[in-house]
Amino acid sequence: MSTKIKGGSNTAGEANVTTDYALQVSLERDAENNPENISGIKIFSENDSGTKTGTPYLYSPETDEDYRLRVSQDTFLDNETFNYTAQNTGKHTYATSTLTGTWTTAGFTTNGGNVTTTGTGMAFGTYAEFPLITSGLLYCEFTGSLSAALTTNFVIDAGLFRRGASTAYAPTDGVYFRVNASGMFGVINYNGAETTTSAFSFTHTNSKKYQFIIVVSEREVQFWIDNILYAKLDTPVGQGVPYMSTTLPFSVRHAHTATTGSAIQFNLNDYGVSIAGGNIVKTLGEVGNAVFGSYQGLSGGTMGSLASYANSANPTAAAPSNTALTANLPSGLGGQGAVTAAVGGSTDGIWGSYQVPAGTVSIQGKRLKITGVRVDAVNIGAAVATTSTTVQFSLAFGHTAVSLATAEAVAAKAPRRVALGFMSWVVGAAIGTSPTQGAINAMFPEPIYVNSGEFVQLVGKFLVGTATVSQVIQFVWQPIYSWE
């Protein structure tokens, strides 16, 4: 049976309708006097319109038992832009067999030599690995392009996966985009067993940059290109999570299974990994050390440890200068050094010096955040004679030239100073004696910031001393720092 509703235009006893014959409906607005008439509305968010999948992707928000809407924030785990010309060996590992990768200011490129040779391959990725945490989401995002039309006998994978140990470096576990002669796919790999989507309805334009996003939860994996959802893969039956590993690195691999029909390259411009769903509290400095590396060089700059600390070697003694770092004294962000004992006076000497890399289009212009400094020393070479030895230490920072005499000006900064303390050795202090006060451990509740291009230096001044022949103060210094 059917019921006809007669529509009217503000006519008593008749329903109002729109010009396209939809009923005009309003909900009860007086919750205080008519609570029994209040009805509920289901709220959904459209995450994707279904342009490629054919079905809109909708989810409703979640409210807890105390009426709070569930919210969360993203936590950055790693991020990198490839605008420099040499590998960051502190963050990334690289393996190759004939097919090589190249670093330029335009990005990291697979198959830099444009070879078509069979049985060749390369793999690139992070040392760091990234977790999927319970009800949270793990995001992997990267931007890149393909240089040519798809050809035969090649495969490129990019995403979160464990790289194979040898050519063709095939993934052994993970989730990733794959492109080969048949097109582009999404892949779930559980300890070597792959589950793939159908080929996407996607045709690339040569050298055009696309944004690729993988969203991982315990129950499904989504594959997005330029903010359009192309496919979802449910976690295979019998598996608790999409992949067997509890953590995965970001990886790219390119391999030729036979001689390819023509050369093809993948150019990677950047990548980022983040986690969502949990309110993980981290300072910007903690995030910086996780992303940029702890106590090591930044991408585009000096690789390896930033501390001047030669392996299995003692430093050569030198006399500090007020205007430059004397040869043999530590030129890193911390390290070991040796200073010849001097007559007491008023001259500040640079015992250790580091310049924060100046930002350029290819070098990250980061701020150095210092939360503490440790200095320790020992008397060597000869016992303290005639008079005691006393050294006053300070931290100089923020100056735009190496000299401690740098003057403040409209385009230059003089050094800022923070006192660190004193070290003293009494007359007769033997070789190997530590200072009377022990080590200096200066902590800064309010951090010290040093901008890109500026210097930070350990400064020492002999207040008392007699320059005993062969007497040397051997020291170590270490700023406690992070990058922001």
> Nearest to residue 128, comparing CAs of 136, 116, 140?
140
Q: Report the alpha-carbon angle 16-17-21, nearest 5.
A: 160
* Dist. CA 109–CA 207, nearest whole Å: 12
Tokens for 360, please give them. 């350029």
**Percent of the chain that is helix, strand, coil (3-state, to 5):** 0, 45, 55
For the entire predicted model, the pTM comes to: 0.79
Question: 3-class SS at 163?
Answer: coil
Tokens for 440, please give them. 């200096």
The amino acid that residue 221 corresponds to is: V
* Dist. CA 22–CA 38, nearest whole Å: 22
* Dist. CA 285–CA 444, nearest whole Å: 14
Torsion-angle region of 2 (φ positive above 0: left; ψ -120 to 50: alpha; else: beta): beta
Q: Are 449 and 481 in contact (CB under 8 A)?
A: no
**325: number of Cβ within 10 Å:** 23
DSSP 262: S
pLDDT tens series, the chain, 484 aa: 566 666 666 677 777 887 777 877 777 777 778 777 776 667 778 888 888 888 888 877 777 777 777 777 788 889 999 999 999 998 999 999 999 999 999 999 999 999 999 999 999 999 999 998 877 899 999 999 999 999 999 999 999 999 999 889 999 999 999 999 999 999 999 999 999 999 999 999 999 999 999 999 999 999 999 999 999 999 999 888 999 998 899 999 999 999 999 999 999 999 999 998 766 767 777 877 777 778 888 888 888 888 999 999 999 999 999 999 999 999 999 999 999 999 989 999 999 999 998 877 777 778 899 999 999 999 999 999 889 999 999 999 999 999 999 999 888 899 999 999 999 999 999 999 999 999 999 999 999 999 889 999 999 999 999 888 799 999 999 999 998 8
> Nearest to residue 251, comparing CAs of 139, 170, 148?
170
